[in-house]
Structure 1
Amino acid sequence: MQLALDAIVKRVGPETWLYPMDMALHSGAVTVLLGATQAGKTSLMRIMAGLDVPTEGRVRVDGRDVTGMPVRERNVAMVYQQFINYPSLTVADNIASPLKLRGETNVEQRVRQIAERLHIDMFLDRLPAELSGGQQQRVALARALAKGAPLMLLDEPLVNLDYKLREELRDELTQLFAAGDSTVVYATTEPGEALLLGGYTAVLHEGELLQYGPTAEVFHAPCSLRVARAFSDPPMNLVPAEAGGPGLVLPGGQTLALALPAGLAGGVTLGLRASALRLQAQPGDVALGARVQLSEISGSDTFVHAETPWGELVAQVPGVNHLALGSQVTLHLQPGDAYVFDASGALALAPRRAARAGGQ
């Protein structure tokens, strides 16, 4: 199924919730809507589903104009932040409901197959209220899968679950989406979810579509500072710099040798992902003295917040590193890992690996 949005706009009273945007979803693939709260993700998803009508623009499905067609006349499956199940029906009957509406045969077998994929087959005889939050969300997901709709919309479906459950379900959803035929739209505030799900990512900010493309391409080559900020966790380190001569002149007078685009001069912004900063040196590194302000261990990584001549930087280093508050360390980076954004905030230079990923 090919869903396309043509010059969509959404206004509510005097406020504009969605600014003019065009988007053509890739059939059978996952598209992630990535953005902070109030970026416009839910508003856009409701228009895709037919729950809302755009103020301007058209919605097309396989070339057919379906603008204004109500959701009940569309074959769409939705999963929300708050798991929604039929409280008086067992888990089995919840999952079976769309199958029975279609008059399918072998309903019990299909229900068990879907329940097994989501590891809830042992709960089929229970009511939703007898399940945990994570189990209830699995039931909602199972019912959406059972519907077999060509368009599946998931509006931050894992946001109300604890960290362990989110990690578990993310992995399972990635496999489920890869094995299915539906066009999937998945809204999230978390860059990590977008990277895990892959496919395509649309970065939204306050109702604007900032960039849309293959997830790896958007991540490695954000077209602007706004996209880089939205698609970085932890946030990208941003340092004011001056372009000219052999590269960038950073605060404190240190020079970072870079082959800058012709004509780039004056004030720019250097961007460094936290993972580009290391405690161990490699050939060709630039060394930067730093004083530890905070050291956080998260899973298998350590996040080091440090004061440097370039300002406060955050490094994401592998392993468990116990660093004392106030201790002196040296951060290392490769010039080739640097992003450069021009005075307007547009991407002027991306790391070498971004060029390879994008085929540039």
Structure 2
Amino acid sequence: MLELRNVSKMVGGEYHIHPTDLTLQRGSLNVLLGPTLSGKTTLMRLMAGLDKPSAGSIFFNGEDVTGFPVQKRNVAMVYQQFINYPALSVYENIASPMRVAGKDQATIDREVRKAAELLKLTPYLDRTPLNLSGGQQQRTALARAIVKNADLVLLDEPLANLDYKLREELREELPRIFAESGAIFVYATTEPSEALLLGGNTATLNEGRVTQFSHTIEVYRRPVDIVTAEIFADPPLNTIEVVKAGGAFTRADQAVIAVPAHLAAVPDGPLTIAFQPHHLFPQAKGEARQSIRARTLISEIAGSESFVHVEFSGRRWVMLAHGIHDIEPDRDIELFLDTKHLMAFDANGRAIGKAA
């Protein structure tokens, strides 16, 4: 178990990581989700022992390791820019941490072949990294981290530099790889879709603060504040300021959206409501019965999906719809909102009510 107890990091008198408490269990997968410069890499470096915290303590299995350098911690790290030894074969790249540790050849051979099978590298063991694709090179780096048998494996945006096809392939493989190891995995990403695909737990970060840490689906569905909801939204979260008056959310004294059951107990008054772009539909569907009259702005087609930008009551919203929706701009359109997933936030951005 890895524990960060009131850990912070200051550089030049400014917080890079504000005081943070985190507990990561053995065998768990933990995603650090946040925009660039939110503190993900700094937090991982503190966990690894590459940097010392300015305050607070780090414990591993009950032992205070705050002052331990990385060489005294059983840690493996995989970076965004995959790092392999170019003159060594894939076999020797994977074997290298075990050779440093003085393992016998039989153990090395067994573990290399086991990791190669797991990561589909067996046919490439005799090749050098320069003769591999980007995905195969990154799998080699992952295999080297796995055979190290580390207690803590840190992956800092490991798929960011791969092309789309390779990224999707490895995204699907990683949960299986993680499930077969007893290590603590920490995976940093800027992409909400990656966090949702990997599952496990997610810590959302913003400007050096961990805003929420829980099971990934819990953070996604029930963010504690609007900042967390925005971190977990791609395309951007749709928001609008309203006044709750009885059974309706009003704007400029006009009822715009009926209050759903899960927000009925929220006190009347001003608040912000928000929802994800995929909860807005071009036709009434299932729970999506709340009619919205909007004006189209632009339609973006991305493969089998469309991003339809509309204006509603002075706010710009995005609808993420399946299929091709090539809609002309500057026309009135009726859309349908699934209010079951509507979120509400008070004047300070704190969540009120519980989304379904």
Query: Structure 2: where are the runs of 5+ without partners?
Result: none
Is residue 252–residue 309 contact of structure 1 (8 Å, CA) maintained in 2?
no
State whether structure 2 residue 3 is matched by structure 1 residue 13. Answer: no
For 2:49, the aligned partner's letter is: G
Is residue 53–residue 67 contact of structure 1 (8 Å, CA) maintained in 2?
yes
For 2:162, the aligned partner's letter is: L
State whether structure 2 residue 264 is matched by structure 1 residue 265. Answer: no
Residue of structure 1 equivalent to 2:141: 140
Q: Cα offset for 1:266?
A: 2.7
Residue of structure 2 equivalent to 1:211: 212
Report the more deviating stretch, 105-114 or 190-199.
105-114
State whether structure 2 residue 308 is matched by structure 1 residue 307. Answer: no
- Cα-to-partner distance string for 1:289-316 (whole Å, 9 max, x where unaligned): 2232222222432211112235221111
Measured in 1, the distance between the counterparts of 2:110 and 2:74 equals: 23
Does the C-alpha gap of structure 1 residues 348 and 140 become closer, same or farther in structure 2, counting only changes over 3 Å?
Answer: same
Is residue 301–residue 325 contact of structure 2 (8 Å, CA) maintained in 1?
yes
Residue of structure 1 equivalent to 2:83: 84
For 1:52, the aligned partner's letter is: D
RMSD of Structure 2 on Structure 1 (CA): 1.8
Q: Cα offset for 1:98?
A: 2.0
Does the C-alpha gap of structure 1 residues 121 and 332 become closer, same or farther in structure 2, counting only changes over 3 Å?
Answer: same
Aligned-partner SS, 1:42: helix
- Cα-to-partner distance string for 1:120-149 (whole Å, 9 max, x where unaligned): 222211222222322211111110111111
Measured in 1, the distance between the counterparts of 2:158 and 2:336 equals: 39
- Cα-to-partner distance string for 1:229-278 (whole Å, 9 max, x where unaligned): 00111111011111232231135723422254656333211101111101
Does the C-alpha gap of structure 1 residues 272 and 331 become closer, same or farther in structure 2, counting only changes over 3 Å?
Answer: same
Q: Cα offset for 1:338?
A: 1.1
Is residue 338–residue 350 contact of structure 1 (8 Å, CA) maintained in 2?
no
Q: Identity over the aligned pairs, expressed in percent?
A: 46
Aligned-partner SS, 1:297: strand
Aligned-partner SS, 2:15: strand
Report the more deviating stretch, 126-135 or 143-152.
126-135
Measured in 2, the distance between the counterparts of 1:132 and 1:231 equals: 31
Residue of structure 1 equivalent to 2:224: 223
Does the C-alpha gap of structure 1 residues 251 and 193 become closer, same or farther in structure 2, counting only changes over 3 Å?
Answer: farther
- Cα-to-partner distance string for 1:160-188 (whole Å, 9 max, x where unaligned): 11111111111111111122211100011
State whether structure 2 residue 42 is matched by structure 1 residue 43. Answer: yes
Residue of structure 1 equivalent to 2:108: 107
Q: Cα offset for 1:13?
A: 1.9
Residue of structure 2 equivalent to 1:162: 163
Alignment of 1:56-71 (within 5 A): 56-71=55-70
Does the C-alpha gap of structure 1 residues 263 and 300 become closer, same or farther in structure 2, counting only changes over 3 Å?
Answer: closer
Residue of structure 2 equivalent to 1:351: 355
Residue of structure 1 equivalent to 2:320: 316
Is residue 76–residue 152 contact of structure 1 (8 Å, CA) maintained in 2?
yes
Normalising by structure 1, what TM-score?
A: 0.92
Measured in 1, the distance between the counterparts of 2:266 and 2:285 equals: 31
Residue of structure 2 equivalent to 1:336: 340
Aligned-partner SS, 1:211: strand
Residue of structure 2 equivalent to 1:357: none
Query: Structure 1: where are the runs of 5+ without partners?
Result: 353-360
Measured in 1, the distance between the counterparts of 2:171 and 2:134 equals: 15
Q: Cα offset for 1:327?
A: 4.2
Q: Cα offset for 1:106?
A: 4.0
For 1:270, the aligned partner's letter is: I
Measured in 2, the distance between the counterparts of 1:349 and 1:248 equals: 14
Residue of structure 2 equivalent to 1:182: 183
> What is the number of residues matched between the two proteins?
351
Detail structure 1 runs of 4+ shifted over 4 Å in the superposition. Answer: none
Report the more deviating stretch, 170-179 or 198-207.
170-179
Measured in 2, the distance between the counterparts of 1:198 and 1:282 equals: 27
Aligned-partner SS, 2:254: coil
Q: Cα offset for 1:102?
A: 4.2
Residue of structure 2 equivalent to 1:298: 302
